[in-house]
């Protein structure tokens, strides 16, 4: 069984093709990364022009033809409404034109599940960190539950905001990681409330300290140390609370080596296994949507085309 998955929640138009074991036959994307940050309507226009070519290219790359596809899946939410609408329209058109079933999937669940299938994690606590989301997720009693999450902006967004103010370009994550290499620690607000965390205070304090003369490398280093320690603390408490012994890191920020290192140390100290999603599947990608489509289809979930309207606020615990 083959599923073609369409990802289009924000800046990435991605197409992936997965078989029923999670083997990925194709995974390609075109990104909209404007310097000034993402504009929802322009991102949607980007996806409109990117998808047709991406679909043909993915089919070619997989060495299959349209008649080999058994299922179409797409990112139904959460995300930016204009982008979701474009993606769902393309997915519906494809489903109608090749006369195959269509299924809308939750983008956050897809990040978790591609991480599981690609690392072999069985029942992890997942730290899902990206530009739009920061959540600590675990499955209990057959349901995804959110044990902790950001109270304001996502960690990726916080890094991007900080980087943009300092003219480091977009996305900020890779640049901040590079700058942080030889920095010294300057205290920044460490905000964990119960199991939730907040990042806006770090952004504004770091910018204030920049104006007061702190060096870029010290600020990048301290930004990472402080915010990643918060994420590590909450992940550890979720492991302890659920008595799970696997931690999975996923989402765009999972590309960060320092975050991986901190989580790995914590996991080693409590004899838990640490898994990080391979870089290729860390950021938004079509492969994860295709794989989640297969999983839902295998569970017998079906959708009429009438029920495929977008869900911009769709939470993973829904
Ligand atoms: P979602 O829709 O799941 O919220 P997204 O649209 O933000 O995802 P992703 O590709 O999952 O897209 O994540 C992008 C984020 O990852 C950006 O904020 C970017 O700065 C961040 N990022 C990428 N590489 C790194 C890195 N090396 N270190 C830290 N952050 C990174
Ligand atoms: Fe994402």
- Provide the residue count of the chain: 318
Same domain flag for 202 and 81: no
Who surrounds ion ligand 2 at CB < 5 A?
130, 284
Same domain flag for 269 and 288: no
**Residue 93, domain extent:** 2-110+282-307
Asked if residue 249 belongs to a domain, the reply is yes
Same domain flag for 239 and 185: yes
> Using 50, 70 and 90 to split pLDDT, how confident is the model at 183?
very high
> Which residues contact residue 260 at a Cβ distance below 8 angstroms, ignoring those fewer than 6 apart?
249, 254, 274, 276
- For tokens 């997720």, the residue is 137
DSSP secondary-structure letter at 92?
H
- The whole-chain average pLDDT of the chain stands at 97
Asked if residue 317 belongs to a domain, the reply is no
pTM for the full predicted model: 0.95
Distance of CA 260 to the CA centre of its chain: 15
**Count: domains in the chain:** 2
CB of 132 within 6 A of ligand 1: the answer is yes
Residue 36 has pLDDT above 90, yes or no: no
Taking the C-alpha atoms of residue 64 and residue 160, their distance in angstroms, rounded to an integer, is: 38
> Which residues contact residue 131 at a Cβ distance below 8 angstroms, ignoring those fewer than 6 apart?
10, 11, 154, 156, 157, 160, 171, 252
Asked if residue 316 belongs to a domain, the reply is no
pLDDT value for 38:
84
Residue 37 has pLDDT above 90, yes or no: no
Residue 34 has pLDDT above 90, yes or no: no
**Ligand 1 binding pocket mutation candidate from 227, 283, 286, 314 (most atoms within 8 A of CB):** 283
Distance (angstroms) between ligand 2 centre and the Cα of 164 equals: 20
Same domain flag for 78 and 134: no
Beta-sheet pairing, 102-106 with 71-77: parallel
Mean pLDDT of all residues in 223-247: 98
Ligand nearest to the CA of 9: 1
| DSSP for 189-251, written as a single string | ---EETTEE--HHHHHHHHHHHHTT--HHHHHHHHHHHHHHHHHHHHHHHHHHHT--EEEEES
**Ligand 1 binding pocket mutation candidate from 127, 252, 278, 314 (most atoms within 8 A of CB):** 252
pLDDT value for 233:
98
Residue 128 has pLDDT above 80, yes or no: yes
Asked if residue 318 belongs to a domain, the reply is no
Ligand nearest to the CA of 251: 1
Ligand 1, atom nearest to 78 Cα: 2
Residue 278 has pLDDT above 80, yes or no: yes
- Torsion angles phi and psi, residue 99, rounded to 5: 55, 50
> Using 50, 70 and 90 to split pLDDT, how confident is the model at 21?
very high
Structure tokens at 287: 């492969």
Mean pLDDT of all residues in 261-266: 98
Same domain flag for 164 and 240: yes
* pLDDT (tens digit per residue) in 284-311: 999 999 999 999 999 999 898 888 999 9
Residue 51 has pLDDT above 90, yes or no: yes
Residue 33 has pLDDT above 90, yes or no: no
Same domain flag for 138 and 21: no
CATH number at residue 75: 3.30.420.40
Residue 170 has pLDDT above 90, yes or no: no
Residue 35 has pLDDT above 90, yes or no: no
CB of 235 within 6 A of ligand 1: the answer is no
Residues of the chain above pLDDT 90, percent = 95
pLDDT value for 133:
94
Mean pLDDT of all residues in 107-111: 97
């Amino acid at each position: 069984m083959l599923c073609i998955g369409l990802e289009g929640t924000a800046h990435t138009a991605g197409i992936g093709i997965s078989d029923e074991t999670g083997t990925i036959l194709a995974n390609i994307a075109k990104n909209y990364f404007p310097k000034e940050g993402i504009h929802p309507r322009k991102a949607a226009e980007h996806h409109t022009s990117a998808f047709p070519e991406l679909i043909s290219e993915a089919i070619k790359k997989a060495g299959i033809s349209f008649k080999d596809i058994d299922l179409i899946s797409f990112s139904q939410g959460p995300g930016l409404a204009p982008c979701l609408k474009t993606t769902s329209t393309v997915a519906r058109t494809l489903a109608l034109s090749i006369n195959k079933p269509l299924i809308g999937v939750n983008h956050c669940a897809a990040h978790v599940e591609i991480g599981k299938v690609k690392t072999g994690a069985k029942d992890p606590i997942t730290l899902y960190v990206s530009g739009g989301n920061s959540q600590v997720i675990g499955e209990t009693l057959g349901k995804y539950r959110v044990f902790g999450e950001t109270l304001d902006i996502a960690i990726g967004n916080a890094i991007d905001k900080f980087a943009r103010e300092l003219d480091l370009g977009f996305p900020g994550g890779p640049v901040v990681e590079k700058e942080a290499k030889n920095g010294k620690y300057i205290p920044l607000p460490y905000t964990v409330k119960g199991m939730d965390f907040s990042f806006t205070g770090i952004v504004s304090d770091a910018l204030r300290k920049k104006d007061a003369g702190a060096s870029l490398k010290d600020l990048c280093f301290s930004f990472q140390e402080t915010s990643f320690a918060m994420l590590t603390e909450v992940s550890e408490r979720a492991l302890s609370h659920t008595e799970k012994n696997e931690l999975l890191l996923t989402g765009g920020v999972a590309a960060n080596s320092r975050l991986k290192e901190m989580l790995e140390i914590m996991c080693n100290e409590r004899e838990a296994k640490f898994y990080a999603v391979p870089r290729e599947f860390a950021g938004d990608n079509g492969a994860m949507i295709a794989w989640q489509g297969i999983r839902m289809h295998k569970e017998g979930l079906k959708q009429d085309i009438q029920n495929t309207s977008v869900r911009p606020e769709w939470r993973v615990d829904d």
